[in-house]
Chains A and B, each alone.
Chain A
Amino acid sequence: MDLFSLYNRLLVPFAVFSEIKREPARSFAFALAVERRLLVVPRLEAVDALALRILELVNADPSIPPIDPPEAYGLAFAKHAGLPLLTDNASPKLASLILEELSGVAVLDSLDVLQAIYSGETLLKALREFTEDTGVKFSARRLRELGLA
């Protein structure tokens, strides 16, 4: 899988992993875990406090799309571990840009990842295939940032 040309393994907090309930996604995740390319991270007390504050504050603000507990935990864990967070949701990225405590946390969306793997025509092809496979699209402004629109 091309994602593993960027990262040796994915760390998935238990709260996020437990959201994968149906096949074939579950078997796929377990197969990656067996190959040690996906590690399920147990709940850490050191991360809980920041995750809770992120959750409460982002959800208290109607200007920001809500964040749910697994994603708040993922963001807090990214800060704790000094790792990038991969997500297509806007709230974690916004939180990382406005909260000083989260400065330095890289929140990457699918387009960031595709761009890190591919370039030129190959990137455009990968983007088309990704959109067809997942139904995920990027805003015109997001594509313009990378000179793709």
Chain B
Amino acid sequence: MDLLKKLFEEKGLKVNWEAYAGLTSLLKEELEWARELRRREADWSYIESRPEPLKTALKLLVETGDLKLASRFNSIPLDELNEERVKAKIPLVVVSLRDSGAFAMNAER
């Protein structure tokens, strides 16, 4: 964390570290929940039936939820992989970043 703070300071970006601690903790919970949902809802027989590198890309997508990462690492066009994602019933999960009053001031619009 100290190294991170130093890095941010050197780049001239001021961070609300109190909000950072709460939100990254919340995000970790939310991302784990999302990963479980993707694992549960994915059509694994469809995924296993796909040729490489699609099969690996879809499995990476289930684990990370990161469509662009899975696309880039497997050299598959983003929109092609997204079409495969829909067929494989892998949801893209939108998570919450608003938990307590401590962060509501920034989160409110």
Looking at chain B, what size class is its interface with the partner chain?
35 or more
The answer to whether A90 and B97 have CB atoms under 8 Å apart is yes
Which residue in A21, A112, A141 is a CB contact (below 8 Å) of B95? A141
B6 to chain A, nearest CB (A): 11
Q: Would you list which residues of chain A between 97 and 149 have a CB under 8 Å from chain B? A: 97-101, 103, 106, 108-112, 134-142, 144-145
Q: In this assembly, does A79 line the interface, its C-beta being within 8 Å of a C-beta of chain B?
A: no
A67 to chain B, nearest CB (A): 10
The answer to whether B79 and A21 have CB atoms under 8 Å apart is yes
Which residue in B31, B98, B106 is a CB contact (below 8 Å) of A65? B31
Question: How far does the alpha carbon of A141 sit from the alpha carbon of B23 in the complex, in Å?
Answer: 14
Given the interface contacts A61-B4, A97-B23, A99-B13, does A142 sit within 8 Å of B96 by beta carbon?
yes
Which residue in B8, B37, B92 is a CB contact (below 8 Å) of A88? B92
A61 to chain B, nearest CB (A): 6
Which residue in A21, A97, A137 is a CB contact (below 8 Å) of B94? A137
Q: Would you list which residues of chain B between 68 and 89 have a CB under 8 Å from chain A? A: 68-69, 77-80, 83, 85-86, 89
Q: Would you list which residues of chain A between 54 and 87 have a CB under 8 Å from chain B? A: 56-57, 60-61, 63-66, 68
The answer to whether B95 and A100 have CB atoms under 8 Å apart is no
The answer to whether A139 and B93 have CB atoms under 8 Å apart is yes
Question: How far does the alpha carbon of A100 sit from the alpha carbon of B14 in the complex, in Å?
Answer: 5
Given the interface contacts A63-B28, A100-B15, does A137 sit within 8 Å of B91 by beta carbon?
yes
**Which A residues lie within 8 Å of B99 (CB)?**
141
The answer to whether A101 and B14 have CB atoms under 8 Å apart is yes
Looking at chain A, what size class is its interface with the partner chain?
35 or more
Q: In this assembly, does B66 line the interface, its C-beta being within 8 Å of a C-beta of chain A?
A: yes
The answer to whether B77 and A96 have CB atoms under 8 Å apart is no
Which residue in A57, A111, A112, A135 is a CB contact (below 8 Å) of B13? A57
A90-B97, A93-B97 known, 13 other contacts, Cβ within 8 Å: A21-B77, A90-B94, A108-B109, A111-B94, A135-B89, A136-B92, A137-B94, A139-B34, A139-B96, A141-B95, A141-B96, A144-B96, A145-B98
Chain B residues proximal to chain A, CB less than 8 Å: 4, 7-8, 11-16, 19-20, 23-24, 27-28, 30-31, 33-34, 37, 65-66, 68-69, 77-80, 83, 85-86, 89-99, 103, 106-107, 109
